Chain A
């Protein structure tokens, strides 16, 4: 999901940088206020932890392997603002040192993988804080899955708005792949949290940094989650509709009169043509995934003493 340089237009890169810089500015002023100098080495080592944890891989299917991305885990264990700074550092080093993601488009990469994932992951987790262990883990799993989808959705939209990719192809491809990647992310996040809850419950308790985020995070998290849940099926099933909306809103000035000749009635067969049915389909998808995550959480729990 790391976008290399020059895959986004200058305007989109700059808009993403603007959003990223404003959010990070708030994050920095908040962490400066609430955290002492003690937290600086902590955040640095935690950033290295996210980086290193991405090397722990596990087989998924057909010879491919999955690994942790870490946005939701960082948010839940470190709290929202510190989580954002940590993820930003991880993405900056991936781009700077390994050319995994470009420099001018780094604002977009930080936004997609560092800020939105943390806000969504933390918001959903924050809404169940103080609840039972199984509820917490289920919420964390759903948050991890949705955070990966949110990143993929934003990446596709940015590519499309830059004129680098075709919406009708990039959205189903990206969301399809990342729905699977997200399952791995959800499983590993749930297992890691369950391990931490078992061994050091104090790190995730009522007094910890992760419980200190305000109620506003719940609203932000639920809003982003809703946007992903509603927009993904709409964009997959009805990309032309999204394109029309974008033209109407002035994102795309080039009013190309349907230049492509991919079959005109391009819809995903089993989803209907009306927006309502696609949204319903999306909601059903979320329920199914929630159920899977819940069951997985149960099965991961069974060995608990």
Chain B
């Protein structure tokens, strides 16, 4: 099994793909911060923010709907924000009775809820675009340039490298469990549901312990192999990042656009 289903990079030859990873990271974070700083109900500014996102999508050759299709991942979390509907004082919109409590939805609560969901939705899409248009090692390298400690970026690089290897290992473990978990139709291996659940939790725990030992022993071999190839405690890259004039241009345009939409949002 090839578990490169994890890789979120989409190979395309586009202006956004060629952009310096550092610029892409900084602009993405500035974009998310700018969304957070916009006041509730700044619809014009939200629309401009969305336009910015669409422009970036257009530059990426991935299609305008690309980020939209993947943007529902943060939606379940909106459930936590639903509670804000009932907690902001304002004019009463409607009221309902549920589980012994009266819930009152106010216009201010609704405004706040919709604003939170829009902000979060825009931010998630920009992050999706960043990862789709930047190779992960370049991304990690960019974070290193942005002063993230080397030990962390190295761990992250290793995590990414061995994620695929260990996922294959997990898939083998899961397949082995499945092939040994047969039961005749209508026959329950264990009458007592609680004992059965405990048993299954123990099997999962044994698998986790097994995976731990395999990973631990593998890391030894990896270290020895690295030493054999001249590892001195530092990872090197051929991909030296050099800022081109197009990078500076994109950064400047993004900064102007973000300042402009902040201005619109506050007027």
List chain B residues, Cβ under 8 A from A73: 208, 212
Minimum C-beta distance from B219 to chain A (A) = 4
Residue-wise interface mask of B (142-171) relative to A, using a CB-CB cutoff of 8 A (1 in contact, 0 not):
000000010110111111111101110110
Contact of A6 among B8, B35, B197, B211 (CB under 8 A): B35
Question: Chain B: how many interface residues by the 8 Å CB criterion?
Answer: 86
Complexed CA–CA distance, A296 and B166 (Å): 29
Q: How many A-B residue pairs have CB under 8 A?
A: 280
Q: Is A193 a contact of B136 with CB atoms below 8 Å? A: no
List chain A residues, Cβ under 8 A from B13: none
Complexed CA–CA distance, A9 and B37 (Å): 9
User: A96-104, A118-126, A218-226: which lies at the B interface?
Assistant: A96-104
Residue-wise interface mask of B (15-30) relative to A, using a CB-CB cutoff of 8 A (1 in contact, 0 not):
0000000000000110
Residue-wise interface mask of A (17-36) relative to B, using a CB-CB cutoff of 8 A (1 in contact, 0 not):
00000001000100110000
Q: Is B160 a contact of A190 with CB atoms below 8 Å? A: no
Q: Is B89 a contact of A259 with CB atoms below 8 Å? A: yes
List chain A residues, Cβ under 8 A from B231: 37
Complexed CA–CA distance, A92 and B158 (Å): 13
List chain A residues, Cβ under 8 A from B139: 96
Q: Judge if B189 is at the interface, Cβ distance under 8 Å.
A: no
Q: Is B219 a contact of A41 with CB atoms below 8 Å? A: yes
Minimum C-beta distance from A112 to chain B (A) = 13
List chain A residues, Cβ under 8 A from B124: 4-5, 99, 102
List chain A residues, Cβ under 8 A from B112: 163
Complexed CA–CA distance, A55 and B168 (Å): 11
User: B50-58, B99-107, B240-248, B258-266: which lies at the A interface?
Assistant: B99-107
Task: Closest A residue to B205 by CB, please name it.
Answer: A191
With contacts A5-B123, A104-B29, A184-B201 taken as known, whether A49 is within 8 angstroms of B89 at the C-beta atoms is no
Q: Judge if A68 is at the interface, Cβ distance under 8 Å.
A: yes
Q: Which residues of B contact A (CB under 8 A)?
A: 6, 8, 28-29, 32-33, 35-37, 70, 73-74, 77, 80-81, 83-84, 86-89, 95, 100-104, 112, 116, 119-120, 123-124, 127-128, 131, 136, 139, 149, 151-152, 154-163, 165-167, 169-170, 173-174, 195, 197-198, 200-213, 215-216, 218-220, 222-223, 226, 231-233
Q: Which residues of A contact B (CB under 8 A)?
A: 2-7, 9-10, 13, 24, 28, 31-32, 37-38, 40-49, 51-53, 55-61, 66-68, 73, 77, 85-86, 88-90, 92-93, 96-100, 102-104, 159, 163-166, 169-170, 174, 184, 187-196, 199-200, 203, 256, 259-263, 266, 296, 299-300
9 A-B pairs, CB-CB below 8 angstroms?
A5-B119, A9-B36, A44-B156, A45-B215, A58-B203, A92-B156, A98-B6, A262-B103, A299-B195
